[in-house]
Every structure is written in structure tokens, then in C-alpha cells.
Amino acid sequence: MHLVSALGNLFCTHFPTFGLMIIVRSSLGEFVRPTEQNMDELVTALSQDKLPIGTFIIDDGWQDVGAVAEDEPDNQGLWGFGAYDGLGGTLKQTVDAIKTKLPTVNHVGVWMS
């Protein structure tokens, strides 16, 4: 039994997505861009429900993108590696806010365009 427990602890330590993970895009809606308000509402709801989230993924929509060319089917491109203005701060500030309200979060990942 001790070996199984030790292996389980080792697995959880080296594979951070093992356990409860939340993906923002799935939580807010597929075409809903994360904003300061809806991210705060999501994190507050998770905190109030006392869910032991270990990994928090900020999916599509946080980055600063803009139109590259008109009349193109896929006409958006990455303007920079900073967060877009609607997120309400830097990516670091967003991650800090998540980890403050959800102390069980060990890892925050982001989707890159």
C-alpha cells in the first residue's frame, strides 16, 4: 500500500494536470473572450464552491490580436505577447489574482496563438 501511495504522489508531482483542471474557454463559452469581469466571476464562483482546482488554463482570447488583412477567412494575427486591454491588467496580474482566490492552483497555463 505504501508503494502505491508513493507512486501516486510521484505521479501528481510530475504531471500537474493530473487531478482537477479548469479551462476558461469551456467555462465561459467557446466564443466568449475572457474579461476582467467574467474571469473574476468565474474564479469567485470556483472559490465559493471550494473546488480543489490544481491547474487553471486560460484558453483562447487573452492575447492582443488584431486584423491582419481584410476579406481573409482567418484574418487575425498576434500583435504582441501582452494581454489585451479587456483582461484588465497584465497576464501576471491575472495569474496572481487567480492564485490568490484559488490557493489550490499550482499551475496556470495559457493558450498561445
Does the model's pTM come out above 0.95? no
Kindly compute the dihedral angle of the four CA atoms of residues 27, 85, 63, 65, in this order, to the nearest 10 degrees.
Answer: 120
pLDDT tens digits, one per residue of 83-108: 888 888 888 999 999 999 999 999 99
pLDDT tens digits, one per residue of 7-16: 445 545 555 5
